[in-house]
Each structure stands twice: as structure tokens, then as C-alpha cells.
């Protein structure tokens, strides 16, 4: 038996979330996300709209062959078309073909949509809702009814909106999900209307009354707030998407809704041991959909528990409750101490510990490091976004920065050449000339001087290739490193072409990411600094891993 505080989380990332502009999912992407949501303990996963596109049909077919462990996969569809029998409607036929136990069917609650969008009369819309649900029930499907535009419809014509729910109840819907489809409702409106519907349902004295759900969009930046207030008024199903993905401004963000409901309001949403994986799954979904994670997202963002000001860091070090509303571990996140020109000595001590370095507050090096940090930040460096560079800086101050290699010099040659051969025939006069870059680097490794050159599409790529070519004989591990991001910022644009340029380069080895920073009036010089430190840091971390494994084996 579910507890009295049980809520049913309904994830629609694979359908409503996929309607976000710029987001596209393959069948394999959808399957991978569904399996991770299943592992998270989400009870309902909406897989898509069968028949709307080939991918959704393939998705449901594959899950028939390899079902999820515990989640119910839900097919989504609309009511039958006007003046067409339900048993002849292709939309309902496709939903049945998905062979899911549950089907979510949406119908029109707002009379404006009935007359303007469907181009039919109000009574026909009521018949469409009733007939569609009754037909699905006859085919032994369990039905969740999404009352589309419910709140707008209720505010404009409450009597008719209630009639649409009555039709769904008479047909046998098990859930009535009230939808703020336009995302424009305010919390007090949601509170009043959900309370009214809840009280109305109680007056019907039904033997098996349908349960209430909530589905909110974020056009007013209130989707999470509206979801919370609906639950407080009796909704027991909460629909939303991972990371708040969705059409226009997105849907209610389950990564914020679930922790608020479970940790703050005491509802049972996910198994407590699974809630601690929420941040990991949030990042996983963002990787699969190829969208950068929102570092400042509540609960799951990289900066959600980051502390920058010296007073904040000092207080958190004594008692985390001073500046953290929950323990970050509860959602699988972690505390981060950020270093910047606003840092105090507490930041330096905390970063040293996080890097595994021993540094005492009374050591003069501590204050020297703090002063060095502030001076470099004043010049234009940004270490809060490039912690790998700061760790190298700290190791150098403590004489713990090994010399992996030494770049003694480099040259970069860039050339633009007109297209030749077939390319010249097909090129219009407006097309730019072809360009390429050649980099030459001189590197010293283990007392050996090496000179290597390499080409690239641009100067940074050419430099990276030349460095790797020079070092790969000594460090074959370099082939595991690759650039994942490259950011350029002009700091004092009023100086024109003499302005300082800050470059941030992000690397990955497939398991971790790290960022380094370079600064110079010369963009190539700034890029060189960041790339060199990025390769050095990656090698340093790999060597530390190997040494740690050797120590573990010996012990």
C-alpha cells in the first residue's frame, strides 16, 4: 500500500521535453534516458506519441523486447478527431499499437480551443473526450487524462471546463491531470482552482474517484512553484521533465520539484537511496541531448553549493548550515569552494584540501598565494572557471609541480589561399578563400630537445597537434585527452586590437573534465598558455592515479 504521503512522479522528457527548440533525440538516446530514469525510480515515463513520427514507434517496439525494470512506460495521444468514431481513429490506433498498459490522452478544456483550434462545437468536444477514453478502456488500457489548457479554460468558462472533466470521469479516466499549458498561471490561481476541483470531486461521492495530477509550463518562471502549490491542494501526480526541458520556456523541472517535495515537504517521491543520484542523472541527460548543463541550476548544478566570498567559506567550513539549505550529498551534489579576487584565506585552505595538498594557515605561502591570486585576477585571469590552472599555481608555490615538459618556443604561420581544382570551379566569387595554419614547437623532455610541426584548421588546433606530436613518444596517454570547449573573452575592448584576451580551454579524458586559462594581448599566446597547462594537468592527474594504485597494491 502506498503511504499517505506518496506522490507519483511522471516524467515527460522524451515527449514534452523533446519539443524544446534545438533538442533532438534518436531512438537510442530515448532508450538510454528511459533506462536511467527507470534506475532513478521514476514510476511513470512518457515515451512519446506513437504514430507522430517513426522514432516513437520504434522506441515502444524496442521496449516491448527489453522492458524497463519498474517504471510504467506511457504512450501519449489526443482524443479522436471530430465526427469520427473512436474505433476508426488513426491516433488512437497508434497508441494501442504501442502496447503499453497506460495511455495518457489529452483533450481540450478551453472553449476557445474547441471553436478555434478544433473548429467544432462544445458538445462534440465532450463526446470526443468520452468516446476516446471509453474506447481505450474497452481495449483494456488504463487512462491518464491530461486536461489541456485547464486553468485558462476554467478562468474563461468554468462551467464548461468542469463538464470536460465530468466526461473524462464518466468514461473511466483514473487520473485527471490539470495542465497549465500556456505556463502563465500564478501560484495563487493554481491554489484556488486545484482546491476547488478537489472539493468538487469530494462532493461526487464516487466509489473510485479519479486522482488529481498537475502539469505546468515555465513561461512565467513559476512551473515549479505552481507544481508545489498544486500538491499542497491535493494533486498526487506531478508531471515534469529532467532539467526543465520543454517547448518555449520549458516544463516544470523535476530536478527542482522532487527535492523540494521530498526533502522540504516530506512527500515520498523517489527511493531515498536513488535521490542521491539525481545530480548525476541530470548531467547524464544533458550530455545525451547535447545541451550544456546549467551550472547554476538549483540542487543539481555545479554551482548550486559553490561558495566564493571569504566570509561565506569561513562560515561553511565551521557549519555548512550557515549557507547551505540542504546537504548537497542528498541529491548527489557536492560542496565547492571557489577561488577569485573575493577570496579569503579560508578559500585557499579549502582548495588546498580539495587538491590533496597540505597547507597550513600559518605558512607564509598561504598569504603569498592569496596575494598572487588577487593580483592575477586583477590582471584578467579567472581561476574560478579554471581550477586546473589554480592547482598548478598552488603546486608551483609549494614546490610540488613536477616538470613534465618544457616548451622552449613556438611559431604559428597562418595563410589564406584561393581554392584550386574542382573547388575553384564550384566556388562563387563571394566564397572566402581557404585558410590553414602551421605550428612549429620546440619542446624539452627528459633533457632532449624536440622540434615538431603540425597543421590545423586554425592556429589553436595546429599548436595542439604540434605539441602532441612532440610529446606522444614520451606520453602516449595524451591520445586520451581532447578539447571539449574553447572560450575567448576580450577584457578591455576599448583598447581595440591591443586589448587583453582571456582564453579558457576545457579538456576531457572521457572520465573527468578540467579547465585552464591563458591571458595575453595576443590571442595565440593566451591560447598556447591554456593548451599547454591543460595537457600538463591531464598528465599530472594520470600520474597521480597510477601512483595511488601502486601504493594501494603495495599495502
Domain boundaries, the chain: 79-269, 306-397, 406-554
The position carrying cell 579567472 is 382
Cell of 464: 595542439
Confidence of residue 502 (pLDDT cuts 50, 70, 90): very high
The CA-atom distances, in angstroms, between 66 and each of 26, 34, 41, 61, 95 are 17, 12, 17, 9, 19
Q: How confident is the model at residue 2 (pLDDT cuts 50, 70, 90)?
A: low
Residue 500 backbone phi and psi in degrees, to 5: -75, 145
Q: Which stretch, 170-179, 378-387, 423-432, has highest mean pLDDT?
A: 170-179
Q: Which residues pair with 142 in a beta bridge?
A: 102
d(C-alpha 555, C-alpha 551), whole Å: 6
* pLDDT (average), residues 281-291: 92
| pLDDT on residue 423 | 42
**Sign of the C-alpha dihedral computed for residues 417, 421, 424 and 427 taken in this order:** negative
Instruction: Please tell me the least confidently modeled range out of 94-108, 288-302, 317-331, 488-502.
Output: 488-502
Quickly state the pLDDT bin for 424 (edges 50, 70, 90): very low
Give the DSSP H or E segment for 366.
helix 364-379
Nearest to 110 by CA among 163, 168, 170, 157: 157
Q: Write out pLDDT tens, residues 318-373.
A: 899 999 999 999 999 998 888 777 778 888 888 888 898 998 888 999 999 989 98
Residue 393: partners with Cβ closer than 8 Å, 6 or more residues away: 369, 372, 373, 376, 383
Contact of 255 with 242, CB cutoff 8 Å: yes
Beta strands in 225-363 (DSSP E): 237-240, 306-307, 336-337
* CA atoms of 414 and 416, how far apart (whole Å): 7
Question: Mean pLDDT score of the chain, rounded to an integer?
Answer: 91
Of 188, 192, 120, 106, the C-alpha closest to 149 is 106
Mean pLDDT of 495-511: 83
Least trusted range by pLDDT, from 249-263, 317-331, 497-511: 497-511
Residue 418 reports pLDDT greater than 70: no
Q: Using one digit for the tens of pLDDT, what is the confidence trace for 162-198?
A: 999 999 999 999 999 999 999 999 999 999 999 999 9
Is pLDDT of 471 > 60? yes
pLDDT digits (tens, 9 = 90+) for 530-539: 999 999 999 9
For the residues 424-448, what does the mean pLDDT come to?
73
- pLDDT tier, 309 (very low <50, low <70, confident <90, very high otherwise): confident
Residue 393 has pLDDT above 60, yes or no: yes
Range from 205-214, 222-231, 535-544 carrying the lowest mean pLDDT: 535-544
Checking if the pLDDT of 81 tops 80, the result is yes
Q: Say which CATH superfamily domain 79-269 falls into.
A: Aldolase class I (3.20.20.70)
pLDDT at site 491: 83
State how far the alpha carbon of 115 is from the alpha carbons of 111, 112, 119, 124, 388, in Å.
6, 6, 5, 10, 60
Using CA atoms, how far residue 325 sits from 254, 259, 282, 321, 441, in Å, is 18, 11, 20, 6, 50
pLDDT average, residue stretch 115-128: 96
Confidence of residue 226 (pLDDT cuts 50, 70, 90): very high
Band of pLDDT at residue 419, cut at 50, 70 and 90: low
Q: What is the mean pLDDT of residues 193-204?
A: 97
Within 10 A of 212 (CB to CB), how many other CB atoms are there? 21
Most confident of 159-163, 398-402, 453-457, 463-467: 159-163
Q: What is the pLDDT of residue 546?
A: 61
CATH number 3.30.160.270 given to 406-554: yes
Q: What's the pLDDT score for residue 422?
A: 39
Quick check: 124 pLDDT over 80?
yes
Sheet holding 501-508: strands in order across?
Answer: 482-490, 501-508, 513-520
Amino acid at each position: 500500500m502506498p503511504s499517505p504521503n506518496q506522490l507519483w512522479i511522471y516524467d515527460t522528457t522524451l515527449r514534452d521535453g523533446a519539443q524544446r527548440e534545438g533538442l533532438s533525440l534518436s531512438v537510442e538516446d530515448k532508450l538510454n534516458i528511459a533506462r536511467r530514469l527507470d534506475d532513478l525510480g521514476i514510476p511513470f515515463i512518457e515515451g512519446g506519441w506513437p504514430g507522430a513520427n517513426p522514432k516513437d514507434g520504434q522506441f515502444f517496439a524496442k521496449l516491448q523486447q527489453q522492458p524497463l525494470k519498474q517504471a510504467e512506460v506511457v504512450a501519449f495521444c489526443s482524443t479522436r478527431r471530430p465526427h469520427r468514431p473512436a474505433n476508426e481513429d488513426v491516433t488512437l490506433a497508434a497508441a494501442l499499437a504501442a502496447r503499453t498498459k497506460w495511455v495518457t490522452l489529452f483533450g481540450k478544456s478551453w472553449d476557445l480551443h474547441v471553436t478555434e483550434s478544433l473548429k467544432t462545437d462544445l458538445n462534440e468536444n465532450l463526446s470526443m473526450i468520452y468516446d476516446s477514453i471509453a474506447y481505450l478502456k474497452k481495449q483494456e488500457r488504463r487512462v491518464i487524462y491530461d486536461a489541456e489548457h485547464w486553468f485558462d479554460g476554467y478562468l474563461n468558462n468554468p462551467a464548461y471546463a468542469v463538464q470536460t472533466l465530468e466526461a473524462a470521469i464518466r468514461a473511466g479516466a483514473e487520473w485527471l491531470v490539470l495542465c497549465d499549458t500556456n505556463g502563465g498561471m500564478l501560484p495563487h490561481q493554481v491554489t484556488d482552482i486545484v482546491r476547488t476541483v478537489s472539493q468538487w470531486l469530494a462532493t461526487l461521492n464516487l466509489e473510485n474517484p479519479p486522482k488529481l495530477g498537475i502539469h505546468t509550463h515555465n513561461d512565467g518562471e513559476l512551473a515549479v512553484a505552481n507544481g508545489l502549490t498544486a500538491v499542497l491542494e491535493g494533486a498526487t501526480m506531478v508531471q515534469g521533465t529532467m532539467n526543465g526541458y520543454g517547448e518555449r520556456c520549458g516544463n516544470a523541472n523535476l530536478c527542482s520539484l522532487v527535492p523540494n517535495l521530498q526533502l522540504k515537504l516530506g512527500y515520498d517521491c523517489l527511493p531515498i537511496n536513488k535521490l542521491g543520484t539525481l545530480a548525476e542523472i541530470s548531467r547524464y541527460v544533458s550530455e545525451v541531448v547535447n545541451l550544456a548543463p546549467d551550472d547554476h541550476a538549483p540542487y543539481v548544478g555545479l554551482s548550486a553549493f559553490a561558495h566564493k566570498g571569504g566570509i561565506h567559506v569561513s562560515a561553511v567550513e565551521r557549519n555548512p548550515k550557515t549557507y547551505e539549505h540542504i546537504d548537497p550529498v542528498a541529491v548527489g551534489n557536492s560542496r565547492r569552494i571557489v577561488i577569485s579576487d573575493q577570496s579569503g584565506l579560508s578559500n585557499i585552505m579549502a582548495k588546498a584540501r580539495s587538491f590533496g595538498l597540505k597547507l597550513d594557515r600559518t605558512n607564509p605561502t598561504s598569504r603569498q598565494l592569496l596575494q598572487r591570486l588577487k593580483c592575477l585576477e586583477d590582471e584578467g585571469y579567472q581561476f574560478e572557471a579554471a581550477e586546473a590552472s589554480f592547482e598548478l599555481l598552488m603546486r608551483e608555490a609549494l614546490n610540488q609541480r613536477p616538470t613534465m615538459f618544457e616548451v622552449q618556443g613556438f611559431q604559428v604561420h597562418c595563410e589564406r589561399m584561393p581554392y584550386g581544382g574542382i573547388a575553384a570551379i564550384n566556388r562563387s566569387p563571394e566564397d572566402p578563400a581557404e585558410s590553414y595554419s602551421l605550428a612549429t614547437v620546440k619542446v624539452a623532455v627528459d633533457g632532449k630537445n624536440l622540434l615538431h610541426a603540425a597543421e590545423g584548421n586554425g592556429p589553436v588546433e595546429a599548436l595542439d597537434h604540434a605539441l602532441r606530436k612532440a610529446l606522444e613518444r614520451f606520453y602516449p596517454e595524451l591520445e586520451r585527452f581532447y578539447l571539449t570547449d574553447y572560450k575567448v573573452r576580450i577584457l578591455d575592448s576599448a583598447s581595440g586590437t591591443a586589448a587583453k584576451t582571456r582564453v579558457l580551454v576545457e579538456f576531457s579524458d572521457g572520465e573527468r573534465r578540467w579547465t585552464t586559462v591563458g591571458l595575453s594581448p595576443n590571442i595565440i599566446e593566451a591560447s598556447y598558455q591554456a593548451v599547454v597547462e591543460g595537457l600538463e594537468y591531464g598528465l599530472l592527474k594520470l600520474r597521480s592515479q597510477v601512483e595511488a594504485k601502486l601504493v594501494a597494491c603495495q599495502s
